[in-house]
Amino acid sequence: MVSCSEPVFTEEGFRNWKKATGTTGKLEKHAISRAHKLSKERMISKKTITPVNVQLSKMEAERMSKKQTEKAENRHIVEVLFDVVMHLCLQSTAFRGNDESESSNNQGKFLEEVKFVAKYHKPLQDWLDTHPGNVTWLGHDVQDEMIEIIAQAVIEIIREHVVDSKYYSVMCDEVTSHKHSYLYVHRNSICSQIQHT
């Protein structure tokens, strides 16, 4: 078998071209040899195959792109859930229901409003249909955390208004429940409920 690495092809060359050319010459025999065909396939493969580092970089870029898209979608869903929480807060209504199980006819105002919004907001409906069971963002702990975040934002807005105002006044009114005392602070049209324990 004639190899591509034979000295006649790599170092020496031909002195007698009659032996090299023609149908019985070394060049023709070499061109149809298995060694030459394998070498040719390897060369074409090397030129056309993407290097491993480039493939890995491309896979990493796709993974990061997918992760960024997923992060943006999740952020949007959380914003929608915050809107539901703020809407219920503005209505001064209870969030929880007596029976929040899947089989319940009325799962409480928060869950029912989320389902209602999802009817008209496809990304939310898709998320509700496909989210992993351990990431619901619909439990009462998350609702309480969202309410706390909104309360802190309201307090910060009031603080900024007070700091920016030349004059301000505070009017206090207290309402006591069986466990807590609530202090209502009024300034112009802004009202904040601050809980004292």
Residues 171, 160, single domain; the answer is: no
Mean pLDDT of 112-125: 92
Tell me the three state secondary structure of residue 54: helix
Cβ atoms of 95 and 108 closer than 8 Å = yes
Mean pLDDT of 17-43: 76
Q: What domain range includes position 30?
A: 7-48
Gap between the Cα atoms of 80 and 117, Å rounded: 9
Domains identified in the chain, total number: 3
Residue 1 lies in a domain: no
Residues 146, 170, single domain; the answer is: no
pLDDT value at 83 more than 70: yes
Residue 122 lies in a domain: yes
CA 16 to chain centre: 70
- Local confidence band at 118 (pLDDT 50, 70, 90 cut-offs): very high
Residues 170, 114, single domain; the answer is: no
Residue 1, pLDDT score: 47
Per-chain mean pLDDT for the chain: 78
Residues 123, 157, single domain; the answer is: yes
Residues 26, 120, single domain; the answer is: no
Residues 24, 121, single domain; the answer is: no
Residues 84, 151, single domain; the answer is: yes
Mean pLDDT of 99-121: 87
pLDDT value at 187 more than 50: no
Residues 99, 183, single domain; the answer is: no
Residue 196, pLDDT score: 42
Give the number of other Cβ atoms within 10 Å of residue 120's Cβ: 8
Mean pLDDT of 49-62: 76
Residues 107, 160, single domain; the answer is: yes
Residue 94 lies in a domain: yes
Beta-sheet strand order (sheet of 190-196) = 171-176, 181-187, 190-196
- Local confidence band at 43 (pLDDT 50, 70, 90 cut-offs): confident
pLDDT value at 61 more than 90: no
Cα radius of gyration rounded to whole Å, the chain = 37
The better pLDDT of the pair 62, 136 is held by: 62
Residue 191, pLDDT score: 42
Mean pLDDT of 139-157: 89
Which residues on adjacent β-strands are paired with residue 171? 186
Residue 2 lies in a domain: no
Residues 65, 40, single domain; the answer is: no
- Local confidence band at 120 (pLDDT 50, 70, 90 cut-offs): very high
